[in-house]
Amino acid sequence: MEHPYVDKRESGGIHAICVVTKGWPAVIVCSAKNESQYDYWSEVQSRFIVSSPNMIPEKYREGNKIIGMREGMTDSLQQKLIISDDETLVAKECVGYLINRIKKMCIRKVEERKNLVWIPYTELLAASLPADRGTDNRMTTRLYTFLKIVALARAHLRKKLICGSETMIIADIKEDLHEALHLTQKIVGIPIFKMEMTETVVAVYRNLRENYEYRLRYRESGQFFVREMELQRIYGTDANGEVKKHHVRSEISL
């Protein structure tokens, strides 16, 4: 990517130079205008992560407080009241650890073009996403990418599926998908309240099962809801809690 850039001369004055950017640069654009009215806005949405913060008076007041602390207090007080250098260092180390961990998991899989994450509810998710325009495919790819990244970042908290020679992280429908939708809700068109509604529906089927079990109708109760422990018995688990199954059935109940 090549673009002009205006720089200052050591001897004074300014001059334009040509800059060539390689790789995958991160671009952050801030705008105070409402650009959603323009014809090209759908293309922008499909290529960038668009965030529109909900600014309220409380946020402005808190901002004023932090500005006052930063401009009028000693450095030692700022370290205690705002954020310390030690906390910043710990945060950077945590991010670096996650990045290195994900890279180690990805190296071999990417080379072999294999998936790292198993999404049991992928068919339901794909069917529920918008499919009216060409850009919707791009948005769907972004959602799945976020979902995989979130699952990989929490790999140490997730169960694993071992299918033949493959070992995959199982994406959690409540936490991982909820986080991915929270990041992309304004892009893919699935607001959080619909995700919460889905969880409510799941709760209804769970209660139906419990009701049937209370009446000792165990065979029928299993048609409404399948618990996590039952999935583990169906597919088998090893000492590390990793799910093993050579042939995964497609009729898994969520």
First and final C-alpha spacing in the chain: 45
Question: Residue 218: what pLDDT?
Answer: 77
Question: Residue 230: what pLDDT?
Answer: 67
Question: Residue 217: what pLDDT?
Answer: 80
Per DSSP bridges, beta strands 166-170 and 117-118 are parallel
Domain definitions of the chain by residue range: 115-254
Question: Residue 139: what pLDDT?
Answer: 84
Question: Residue 42: what pLDDT?
Answer: 76
Chain centroid to Cα 92, Å, comes to 19
Question: Residue 181: what pLDDT?
Answer: 84
Instruction: Kindly give the confidence (pLDDT) of every residue in the chain, 254 residues in length, as a single tens digit, with 9 standing for 90 and above.
Output: 677 777 777 777 787 888 777 776 677 777 777 777 778 777 777 777 777 666 778 888 999 999 999 899 999 988 988 889 999 999 999 999 988 888 887 766 656 667 889 999 999 889 888 888 877 888 888 899 999 999 999 998 998 988 888 888 999 988 999 888 888 765 555 555 555 666 677 777 778 888 888 888 877 777 777 766 666 666 555 555 555 544 333 333 33
**DSSP per-residue string spanning 61-129:** HHHHHHHHHHHHS-HHHHHHHT--HHHHHHHHHHHHHHHHHHHHHHHHHHHHT--SEE-TTHHHHHHHS
Question: Residue 245: what pLDDT?
Answer: 46
Number of continuous H segments (helices) and E segments (strands) in the chain: 10, 6
Q: What are phi and psi of 77, to 5 degrees?
A: -70, -40
Residues 6+ apart with CB under 8 A from 208: 221, 224, 225
Could you tell me the pTM of the whole model? 0.57
Alpha-carbon dihedral 18, 23, 28, 29, rounded to 10 degrees: 50
Residues 6+ apart with CB under 8 A from 170: 117, 118, 120, 151, 158, 159, 160, 161, 243
Question: Residue 83: what pLDDT?
Answer: 86
Question: Residue 71: what pLDDT?
Answer: 92
Question: Residue 189: what pLDDT?
Answer: 52
